[in-house]
C-alpha cells in the first residue's frame, strides 16, 4: 500500500466550544444535546473542512476515521451516576447514547453530511495512528477520495475532581493538555490545488525497544493531530512528527506545499 497522502485542511480545538464558535456553520440550538467531546471534535472538523474549502451543507462521499481513545468519559460517568441514583430501568438514555464510542462519529456524519465509510477507533494513545492507518486504507482501496481524520478524548471528571482534592493521589494524566483538545485533518490520495502538505512517510508499528510496562495511559489521543497542526503552521519545508506511547510508534514525515 502506498504511504503518500495529502493534507487538504487541518483544524484544532483547545478549549470548550461555545455556540458562537459554530455561528458560520450551524444554528446554536442544533448543538444543545451534544456532549463536550462531540462539540470539540465537531469544531476541529469544521475548521479543517473550512480550510479545505468544503461546503458543510452539501452531501459528500468523504470517509470518516475517528479516534476517541477511551471515548466520552463524561457521558459514561453521567450514565453510571443515573444508574446509581435511579436504577437500571430509569437510567438516562441520553447519557448512555453519548457514552457509546461511535456516538461522536454519528454526530460528525450528521452535521457534516458525510456519506462515506466510517470507522471509530478506541485504542487509547494508539488511536490516532490507527485512525490514520484506516484513512490510508480508505483512500488507497478507493472507498473514498477524501477522508476526515478526527481525534479527541474526554477527561475523566472523577479523576479531575480527585486531583484537585488530593494532588498526590492522581497522576498528571488527569490534567494533560492533550486531554482537553481535539484535532482533525482532511486527507486525500492525490494532490489538489488546495493541498497544504504531503505525508510522504507514515509508520504505525510496535517498537520492541520501547516496552509498554511501567507506563500509565494518558489521555493524549489528539496530541499528534494538534502537534501536526503546529508544525504545519510554521510553514517550513519539511516536517517530522514522532509519537511513542506504550511501545507503539506513530511516525509522520512530509513537506509543506505552500498552497494558497
* Rounded mean pLDDT, 138-165: 80
- Which residues are CB-neighbours of 113 under 8 A, at least 6 positions away? 56, 57, 58, 59, 60
pLDDT confidence tier of residue 16, bands split at 50, 70 and 90: confident
**What pLDDT, on the 0 to 100 scale, is given for residue 177?**
46
* Rounded mean pLDDT, 98-122: 88
Domain coverage including residue 211: 5-256
Residue 233: CB atoms within 10 A of its CB come to 11
Tell me the pLDDT tens digit for each residue of 203-236.
988 766 544 433 445 567 888 999 999 999 998 8
| Cell (9 digits) for 110 | 450528521
First to last CA, the chain: 29
Percent residues over pLDDT 90 in the chain: 47
| CATH code at position 112 | 3.40.47.10
Pairing of strands 197-206, 248-256: antiparallel
Give alpha helix (H) positions in 57-206.
73-86, 93-99, 103-112, 127-140, 157-165
**The total number of structural domains that make up the chain:** 1
Q: Is the pTM of this model over 0.85?
A: no
Question: Quick one: angle between helices 73-86 and 157-165, nearest 10?
Answer: 90
Amino acid at each position: 500500500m502506498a504511504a503518500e497522502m495529502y493534507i487538504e485542511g487541518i483544524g484544532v480545538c483547545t478549549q470548550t466550544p461555545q455556540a458562537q464558535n459554530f455561528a458560520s456553520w450551524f444554528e446554536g440550538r442544533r448543538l444543545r444535546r451534544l456532549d463536550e467531546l462531540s462539540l470539540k471534535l465537531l469544531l476541529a472538523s469544521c475548521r479543517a473542512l473550512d480550510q479545505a474549502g468544503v461546503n458543510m451543507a452539501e452531501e459528500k462521499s468523504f470517509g470518516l476515521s475517528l479516534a476517541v481513545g477511551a471515548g466520552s468519559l463524561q457521558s459514561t460517568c453521567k450514565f453510571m451516576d443515573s444508574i446509581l441514583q435511579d436504577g437500571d430501568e430509569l437510567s438516562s438514555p441520553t447519557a448512555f447514547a453519548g457514552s457509546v464510542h461511535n456516538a461522536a462519529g454519528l454526530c460528525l456524519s450528521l452535521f457534516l453530511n458525510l456519506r462515506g465509510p466510517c470507522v471509530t477507533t478506541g485504542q487509547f494513545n494508539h488511536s490516532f495512528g490507527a485512525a490514520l492507518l484506516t484513512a490510508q486504507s480508505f483512500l488507497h482501496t478507493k472507498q473514498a477520495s477524501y477522508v476526515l481524520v478526527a481525534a479527541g478524548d474526554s477527561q475523566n471528571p472523577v479523576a479531575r475532581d480527585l486531583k484537585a482534592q488530593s494532588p498526590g493521589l492522581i497522576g498528571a494524566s488527569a490534567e494533560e493538555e492533550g486531554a482537553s483538545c481535539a484535532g482533525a485533518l482532511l486527507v486525500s490520495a492525490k494532490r489538489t490545488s488546495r493541498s497544504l502538505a504531503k505525508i510522504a512517510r507514515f509508520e504505525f508499528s510496535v517498537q520492541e525497544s520501547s516496552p509498554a510496562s511501567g507506563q500509565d495511559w494518558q489521555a493524549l489521543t489528539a496530541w499528534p493531530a494538534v502537534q501536526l497542526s503546529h508544525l504545519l503552521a510554521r510553514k517550513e519545508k519539511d516536517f517530522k512528527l514522532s509519537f511513542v506511547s506504550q511501545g507503539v510508534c506513530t511516525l509522520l514525515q512530509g513537506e509543506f506545499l505552500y498552497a494558497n
